[in-house]
Chain A
Amino acid sequence: MTKERLSREAIAMRIAREFFDGAVVNLGIGIPTLCSSFVPEGMQITYHTENGALGFGRVVTEEEKAQHADVDLTNAGGQYVHPKPGMCFFSHADSFAMIRGGQVDISVLGVLEVSEKGDLANWMFPGRGVGNIGGGMDLAFNAKRLIGATEHTTKDNKPKIVKQCSIPLTAPHCMDMIVTDIAVIKFTPQGPVLKEMAPGWTAAEVQDLTEAKLIIAEDLKEMELL
């Protein structure tokens, strides 16, 4: 029997609940980018991008491209974004000074593997033997809080939350929390703690798709998206 899993948007929606008023947030490529669509109205989030901008607006949609696409106003994934009053630009040196200097409150990154210790591996392309470290390593080492956004398993249904990563690390012991299409897991010194599950799932079913041994939270509950 196949149980229903959450959409990429729902994963992003759950992660957006971790944002707080005034937070400086850096969103990686993929599911993380979607988080900005689900921030509660009235909450002020300042987005940071590696290529040197803070406080820019939302991503330019396909329909808006003819009017608003400008190659001099993009995020780290090369997507066009809207300008916003109060935004500012700076060089790469300043951008990573912000990251290493502790100015980024939350970094949301994609995940290939996470170990039970909270090690993250996300830069080597699966099956290609090559990859791009890009800005992800600086974020993983230095953001105040690192949240992973991913499907719980790979395309061929192998666990992504494993005992030990099999591919090169982005950073050791860096993950705070991971939100998948079936669960929310928090990384603690004791191990990964299952905090929330998608509607209809049991802890045993989540464990079946997880290689690392999960600690069941006392207050384990169903994921709330809004």
Chain B
Amino acid sequence: MAINKVYNSFKEAVADVKDGSVVFIGNFAGPGGTPFFLIKALRDQGAKNLTIVGNTAGGTGLTLDYDDHRILFQNHQVKKVIASFPFSTSPKRPSDAEKQILAGEVELEMVPQGTLAERIRAGGAGIAAFYTPTGPGTVIEDGKEKRYFNGKPYLMEYALRANYALVRAWKADTLGNLIFRGTQRQFNPIMAMGADVTVAEVDEIVKPGDINPNCVVVPGIFVKRIVKVTENPGFPRHLELGDFQVKEEI
């Protein structure tokens, strides 16, 4: 019997998130690739003492002003954040996470972006830890094992896994196979691999066979739940451009 992965609402898709969960949230510098509706549903659901893992801690002010996972901080649901870019770029507009980190309410673990990506990838790939060349001789090396390979220093970094991954993709089939659009991809595929329960927010859900198997980015076995976006979040997207295949240079 086929397992039904398609959920009718974002609310149902995050209903069982427990207090104290570790949650991966796909995001980068702008709205692309951020699962807004899943984040809102998690805010409404209210689970507390969460550890949030993402590139930012929300509200970094890099591009547009919008509600991303900063709403989880606003709602005081976060105990710890693991991120590479946790602070607002503007001192005049400190993020909610920033205020809570500086007040000692939220613990911050800042990780270089490539190390963060590899820790997430390793978690999904069954690797416990690895040695990276990034960080020796900086504050990042504090408390870490340093080891030399071919005369060059490396730091040992541990894999990260999560109870839930909230990811954004372009299209899913009902088996959970995912494809992405442009730079929406970023952390989403590796996060999808490394969580007990991966929930994907997508523009479209199609039947098996309607996604070219040569193009699948995240195999469906990694994805437990799929929810289709039904309202326009209000960001510039030109979906008629499809996957940005272009013949001529602009």
Q: Bound state CA distance, A69 and B111, in angstroms?
A: 30
**Which of the 9-residue segments A16-24, A85-93, A189-197, A212-220 touches chain B?**
A85-93
Contact A132-B181, Cβ < 8 Å, known A85-B246, A138-B112: no
B185 touching A91, Cβ below 8 Å: yes
Residues in A148-192 with C-beta less than 8 Å from chain B: 168-172
Selected contact of B28 from candidates A51, A99, A127, CB within 8 Å = A51
B87 touching A132, Cβ below 8 Å: yes
Q: Give the residues in chain A near B115, CB-CB below 8 Å.
A: 138
For residue A137, CB closer than 8 A to chain B, the reply is: yes
Residues in A62-104 with C-beta less than 8 Å from chain B: 65, 68-74, 76-80, 82-85, 87, 89-93, 95-96, 99-100
**Besides A51-B186, A71-B30, 4 new A-B residue pairs in contact (Cβ under 8 A), listed by A number:** A83-B246, A92-B114, A138-B134, A172-B138
Residues in B191-250 with C-beta less than 8 Å from chain A: 217, 235-238, 241, 244-250
Q: Bound state CA distance, A72 and B242, in angstroms?
A: 11
Q: Bound state CA distance, A131 and B140, in angstroms?
A: 13
- What does DSSP make chain A's interface, helix, strand, loop or mixed? loop
B135 touching A78, Cβ below 8 Å: no
B117 touching A92, Cβ below 8 Å: yes
The proximity string for B residues 87-117 relative to A, scoring 1 for CB distances below 8 Å and 0 otherwise, is: 1010100000010011000000011111111
Q: Bound state CA distance, A74 and B31, in angstroms?
A: 10
Q: Bound state CA distance, A152 and B55, in angstroms?
A: 31
Q: Bound state CA distance, A73 and B132, in angstroms?
A: 29
Selected contact of A128 from candidates B91, B110, B133, CB within 8 Å = B91
B117 touching A133, Cβ below 8 Å: no
Q: Give the residues in chain B near A133, CB-CB below 8 Å.
A: 84-85, 110-113, 140
Q: Bound state CA distance, A19 and B247, in angstroms?
A: 26
Give 24 A-B contacts (CB < 8 Å), ordered by A residue: A70-B32, A71-B236, A71-B237, A78-B28, A78-B63, A79-B63, A80-B236, A83-B245, A84-B249, A87-B244, A91-B189, A93-B189, A93-B190, A125-B91, A130-B87, A130-B98, A130-B102, A133-B110, A135-B114, A137-B134, A138-B134, A142-B114, A170-B138, A172-B137
